[in-house]
Amino acid sequence: MPGNALQRYTPQLVGAAALLGFVGFWEAAAAYKLADPMFISSPSRIATVAAEMWEDPDFWRDVKVSSTEFIWGYLAAIAVGIPLGLVIGWYKRAQYALGPFIDVLNAVPRVTFMPIMVLWFGIGIWSKFAVVFLGAVIPIILSTYSGVRTNEARYLRVAKSFGASQMKTFTSIILPGTAPYIFTGLKYASGRALLGVVVGELYAATAGVGHMIAQAGNAFETDRVFFGVLLFTFTGLVVTSILARMEKRFDRWRPEGAVR
């Protein structure tokens, strides 16, 4: 029934129309010189630049550098953050000892450490890796920790009553109960990791998409700047949707549409 389908997709249709309207207005503003295209660029100019850059090996080198920083920094944050969060959630005393440091690191934007990281690791990939890692690891630790802490006592009582070993309790009760929290942390951390890449490359770099944006900005190449920004938008959307899909697989036991 077309009427029904129309109704069902109203949000998407209205959203798409609004986006199209925005793009159209932008193009028109540039075409009729409502504003100088040198400042605001235009969708068609951005598309042209995108096509050019697709052929440009320098651009692919930038992409490679940025993705290396992002992927390794993020993976390292996951590899450290989840176990650490589990440990401080499970062992009260570990939390007492590490809590103050994590709280302090949480209160400060980790990009503040950029100058120190550059001092320590130079302006290459390693300083960005460090900032990406620092940015992402804190939210992963904190959400994993709160996941363990909110594990309901009644499930632990069941495990104890059936004589489950420590290991069994951990794998059958703690981990599945914590998984949704870990995903919340991972999603948030992916944003922080991307932020680390951008800031690191704006601050001091010789390559990377952020570096490309900064250089294009200095040369007043607005089209390239916009293209770079959109590339980050696209990456952010892709990463979040991958995580959301993975989360769904882990979350089959939750009632549909449950609010956490």
Binders of another protein in range 69-98 (CB under 8 A): 93, 96-98
Q: Three-state SS for 1?
A: coil
Minimum Å distance from CB 2 to another protein?
Answer: 19
Instruction: Provide, rounded to whole angstroms, the least separation between the CB of residue 217 and another protein.
Output: 3
Angle at the Cα of 84 (from 80 to 110), degrees rounded to 5? 65
Pick from 218, 245, 249, 257: which binds another protein (CB under 8 A)? 218
Q: How many CB atoms lie within 10 A of CB 225?
A: 21
Q: 189 near 240, Cβ under 8 Å?
A: no
**Residue 37 within binding range of another protein, rule CB under 8 A:** no
Phi/psi at 9 (nearest 5 deg)?
A: -100, 15
In the bound state with another protein, the residue whose beta carbon lies nearer, of 125 and 131, is 131
What does the block give as tokens for 88?
């401080």
Q: How far is the CB of 51 from another protein (least distance, A)?
A: 21
Asked if 154 touches another protein (CB under 8 A), the answer is yes
Binding residue for another protein, selected from 89, 139, 147, 208, defined by CB under 8 A: 139
Tokens standing for residue 22: 């925005």
**x-or-dash string of contact with another protein, 170-209, rule CB under 8 A:** --xx--xx------x---x--x--xx-xxx--xx------
The interface region with another protein, picked from 26-34, 57-65, 73-81, 107-115 by CB under 8 A, is: 107-115
Q: How many CB atoms lie within 10 A of CB 169?
A: 18
For tokens 């590899």, name the residue. 79
Q: For residues 18-29, b (16+ Cβ closer than 10 Å) or e, as one string?
A: eeeeeeeebeee
- The distance of closest approach from Cβ of residue 184 to another protein in the complex, given in angstroms and rounded to an integer, is 7
Number of residues that bind another protein (CB under 8 A): 83
Is residue 101 at the binding interface for another protein, with CB under 8 A as the rule? Answer: yes
